Amino acid sequence: MIDKKIISLEQVTKQFGDLFALREISFEAREGERIALLGPSGSGKSTLMNLLTRTLQADQGKIELASQNIDKYVNQKEYAKLVGILRQQFDLVNNLSVINNVLVGRFNEWGTFKSLLSLFKTQDLKIAQLALKKVGMSDKINEMTANLSGGEQQRVAIARLLVQDPKIILADEPVSSLDPNNARIVLNLLNQLVREDQRTLIASMHSVDLSLEFFSRIIGIRGGRILFDKKTDEIEENILKELYEVKKDE
């Protein structure tokens, strides 16, 4: 089977005033790929993620999701069917139980969810329960989300993604605030989720080691440009060194 193209960036540039956060970035992602964005602090990783999550708009160039220009997804629901976002600060609703946080994924937005809270069908509950089981949180279904540890909250956020069922998952440093053990658990779950349904994952990452372990392709970004874009098993030590090298003239 030939994997389908799901994300495409062509000559994408983003400026903040005179500063070029991203310069003429081009790449394509196919279904099933797990892509890590690596690069020193300030290289443009978050800016790139923010363009894909539509938090920011590109100044130049073209971004397509599932062969349609990203700006054409005017309907938030249509976008949410395609794209799921896992945030660094877990954006769960703190004063809501775990199961209800997961159910929010069925409705893509908090407003709709609140108005439908009383109308959940057994079917919805079953889907949410199954998702929580998959991330190993079955025993905490009725716990208040605020009482969970960071790692547990990130697992609940993944369960919510499962329920939302998007084709693409975007995550800006999803495990940076977790200890190594929890980071592994979360990345394992993300991997599983992506592999099971041939989804596409793009995550900006702080840790080189975790990127090499959990991702199939690595894009190195430096100074707003792509320094390399390679399959993980083709990555060599010297290119990683160059990525993080401190140069005087920059």
Ligand X SMILES: Nc1ncnc2c1ncn2[C@@H]1O[C@H](COP(=O)(O)OP(=O)(O)O)[C@@H](O)[C@H]1O
Question: Binding residues for Mg ion, per CB under 5 A?
Answer: 45-46
Q: How far is the CB of 120 from Mg ion (least distance, A)?
A: 36
Structure tokens at 173: 């440093």
Does 220 participate in binding ligand X (rule CB under 6 A)?
A: no
Does 21 participate in binding ligand X (rule CB under 6 A)?
A: yes
Which residue in the shown chain puts its C-beta closest to Mg ion?
A: 46
Q: Binding ligand X by CB under 6 A: which of 16, 71, 77, 138?
A: 16
Give which of ligand X, Mg ion, none residue 43 binds (C-beta under 5 to 8 Å, depending on kind): ligand X
Does 154 participate in binding ligand X (rule CB under 6 A)?
A: no
Count of residues that bind ligand X according to CB under 6 A: 11
Nearest in space to 247 (alpha carbons), one of 218, 220, 223: 223
Closer residue to Mg ion in complex, CB, 40/61:
40
**HSE (side-chain half, CA atoms, 13 Å) at 64:** 13
d(CA 33, CA 36): 10
Give which of Mg ion, ligand X, none residue 21 binds (C-beta under 5 to 8 Å, depending on kind): ligand X
Tell the burial category of 13 from Cβ atoms under 10 Å away from its Cβ (0-12, 13-18, 19+).
middle
Closer residue to ligand X in complex, CB, 21/240:
21
Give which of ligand X, Mg ion, none residue 41 binds (C-beta under 5 to 8 Å, depending on kind): ligand X
Closer residue to Mg ion in complex, CB, 45/167:
45
d(CA 26, CA 52): 13
Closer residue to Mg ion in complex, CB, 38/137:
38
- Restricting to residues 26-85, which ones interact with ligand X according to CB under 6 A? 39, 41-47
Give which of Mg ion, ligand X, none residue 44 binds (C-beta under 5 to 8 Å, depending on kind): ligand X
Q: How far is the CB of 100 from ligand X (least distance, A)?
A: 32
Q: How far is the CB of 46 from ligand X (least distance, A)?
A: 3
Which residue in the shown chain puts its C-beta closest to ligand X?
A: 46
Closer residue to ligand X in complex, CB, 3/245:
245
Residues that bind ligand X (CB under 6 A): 16, 19, 21, 39, 41-47
